[in-house]
């Protein structure tokens, strides 16, 4: 299934040396912007309350918008010609080949409730491929970072490759998540029903970026979810793929549920979640 994420083995074959994008420069800028955003959140006196009229998975706070604007300004100060795609503001077409994809607070429901599973997500895309990803989870004390072809790090330490086949389906701990709309949730519950009896356990932490990072670091065996947007998973999808996790599906374009898992487990789980209108056979 088509994906915006590069596999670590595909970079050189695509003429990596000829690319004009300086991935390390972009990564350093993304990390700097994430640090500025974390400082804003730490020092802010804004109330952590949703705006009237927002609800369900679509809760929005003043801090969501302030963080996105802060990140946007930080990036534009160094790269004014780049494009910008964020959850809380209109997209901006740039003159360069680079577009920044931002989720200022992924897991706003958790953020409002005082739960720690939320993150700041910053990705850079060029010519349709994600080149850089940074996930900062301040309440968990975690920062994940990656650039295409360069592996991934957690708090500065290189993450081990997850190129092993993974556990059998019956031994897998799998994460998922849910949309706000009734129709989307009904489809998601049907998919969960097919998976639940086949795996060891299922988790739902409420932030797609951190579920992907947990698969990358080996805390989860797999993660799947539909009804996502590109800013939910752009940065973390690259982080996972850089350690050998198979990341497939583009739910933001209607191309199936997103699935992240080690290669052997991914194929089995994809067959299970892609079934339509029938239960999986025993």
Backbone angles phi, psi at 136, to 5 degrees: -120, 125
- The answer as to whether 6 is a domain residue is no
Choice among 100-109, 188-197, 208-217, 219-228 with the minimum mean pLDDT = 188-197
Q: Same structural domain for residues 220 and 90? A: no
The domain that holds 135 is classified in CATH as 3.30.540.10
- pTM of the entire predicted model: 0.87
Average of pLDDT values for 278-282?
35
Q: Same structural domain for residues 203 and 154? A: no
Q: Same structural domain for residues 40 and 133? A: yes
DSSP state of 18: G
Average pLDDT in the chain: 86
**pLDDT value for 192:** 87
Q: Same structural domain for residues 240 and 151? A: no
Q: Same structural domain for residues 135 and 175? A: no
Q: Same structural domain for residues 190 and 65? A: no
- The answer as to whether 4 is a domain residue is no
- The answer as to whether 2 is a domain residue is no
pLDDT tens for residues 140-178? 999 999 999 999 999 999 999 987 778 899 999 999 988
- The answer as to whether 36 is a domain residue is yes
Look at residue 199 and give its three-state secondary structure. Answer: coil
Last residue of a domain, one of 134, 158, 182: 158
The residue to which tokens 């049907």 are assigned: 190
Overall domain count for the chain: 2
**pLDDT value for 152:** 98
Strands laid side by side in the 119-126 sheet: 83-86, 98-106, 119-126, 129-137, 142-147, 152-154, 157-158
Average of pLDDT values for 40-58?
66
Opening angle at CA 255, ends 251 and 258, nearest 5: 45
Average of pLDDT values for 18-37?
89
Q: Same structural domain for residues 89 and 193? A: no
pLDDT tens for residues 190-199? 888 889 989 9
Q: Same structural domain for residues 127 and 93? A: yes
**pLDDT value for 222:** 96
**pLDDT value for 166:** 80
Query: Whole-angstrom Cα distance, residue 238 to residue 232?
Result: 12
pLDDT tens for residues 245-262? 999 999 888 788 899 999
Say which residue, 31 or 191, is predicted with more confidence. 31
Last residue of a domain, one of 105, 130, 158: 158
Query: Whole-angstrom Cα distance, residue 7 to residue 241?
Result: 6
Alpha helices in 20-104 (DSSP H): 23-43, 62-78
Task: Give the closest residue to 98 by CA, choosing from 22, 3, 152, 37.
Answer: 22
- The answer as to whether 56 is a domain residue is yes
Backbone angles phi, psi at 76, to 5 degrees: -65, -25
The domain that holds 226 is classified in CATH as 3.40.190.80
- The answer as to whether 23 is a domain residue is yes
Last residue of a domain, one of 158, 190, 205: 158
Contacts of residue 174, defined as CB under 8 A and 6 or more positions apart, other chains included, come to 195, 199, 201, 202, 203, 220, 221, 222, 223, 224, 269
Domain that holds residue 146: 12-158
Instruction: Assign 53 a pLDDT band (cuts: 50, 70, 90).
Output: very low
Say which residue, 193 or 278, is predicted with more confidence. 193
DSSP track, 92-158: B--SSSEEEEEEEEETHHHHHHT-S--EEEEEEEETTEEEEEEEEEGGGTEEEEEETTS-EEETTEE
Of all residues in the chain, the percent with pLDDT exceeding 90 is 64
Output Rg (C-alpha) for the chain, integer angstroms.
18
Query: Whole-angstrom Cα distance, residue 263 to residue 282?
Result: 22
Instruction: Assign 8 a pLDDT band (cuts: 50, 70, 90).
Output: very low
Cβ burial of 143 (10 Å; 0-12, 13-18, 19+) is buried
Q: Same structural domain for residues 22 and 150? A: yes
Contacts of residue 252, defined as CB under 8 A and 6 or more positions apart, other chains included, come to 228, 229, 230
- The answer as to whether 246 is a domain residue is yes
Query: Whole-angstrom Cα distance, residue 120 to residue 76?
Result: 17
Q: Same structural domain for residues 96 and 220? A: no
Q: Same structural domain for residues 32 and 145? A: yes
- The answer as to whether 136 is a domain residue is yes
Query: Whole-angstrom Cα distance, residue 19 to residue 2?
Result: 22
Distances from the Cα of 270 to the Cαs of 83, 124, 183, 227, 274, in angstroms?
33, 27, 21, 16, 6
Q: Same structural domain for residues 90 and 209? A: no
**pLDDT value for 7:** 41
Q: Quick check: 224 and 273 in contact, CB under 8 A?
A: yes
């Amino acid at each position: 299934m088509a994906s915006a994420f590069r596999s670590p083995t595909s970079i050189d074959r695509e003429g990596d040396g000829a690319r004009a994008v300086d991935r390390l420069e972009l990564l350093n800028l993304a990390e700097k912007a994430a640090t500025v955003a974390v400082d804003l959140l730490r020092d802010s006196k804004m109330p952590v309350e949703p705006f009237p009229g927002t609800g369900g998975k679509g809760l929005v706070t003043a801090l969501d918008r302030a963080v996105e604007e802060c990140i946007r300004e930080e990036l534009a100060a160094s790269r004014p010609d780049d494009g910008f795609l964020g959850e809380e503001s209109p997209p901006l077409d740039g003159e360069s080949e680079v577009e920044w994809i931002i989720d200022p607070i992924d897991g706003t429901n958790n953020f409002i409730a005082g739960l720690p599973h939320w993150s700041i997500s910053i990705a850079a895309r060029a010519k349709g491929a994600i080149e850089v990803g940074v996930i900062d989870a301040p309440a968990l004390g975690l920062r994940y970072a990656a650039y295409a072809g360069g592996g991934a790090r957690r708090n500065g330490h290189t993450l081990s490759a997850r190129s092993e086949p993974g556990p059998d389906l019956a031994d897998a701990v799998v994460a998922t998540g849910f949309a706000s709309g009734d129709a989307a949730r009904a489809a998601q519950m049907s998919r969960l029903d097919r998976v639940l009896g086949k795996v060891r356990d299922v988790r739902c932490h409420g932030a797609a970026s951190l579920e992907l990072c947990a698969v990358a670091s080996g805390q989860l065996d797999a993660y799947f979810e539909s009804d996502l947007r590109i800013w939910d998973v752009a940065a973390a999808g690259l982080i996972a793929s850089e350690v050998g996790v198979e990341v497939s599906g583009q739910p933001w374009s209607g191309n199936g549920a997103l699935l992240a898992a080690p290669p052997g487990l991914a194929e089995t789980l994809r067959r299970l979640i892609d079934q339509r209108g029938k239960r999986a056979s025993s």
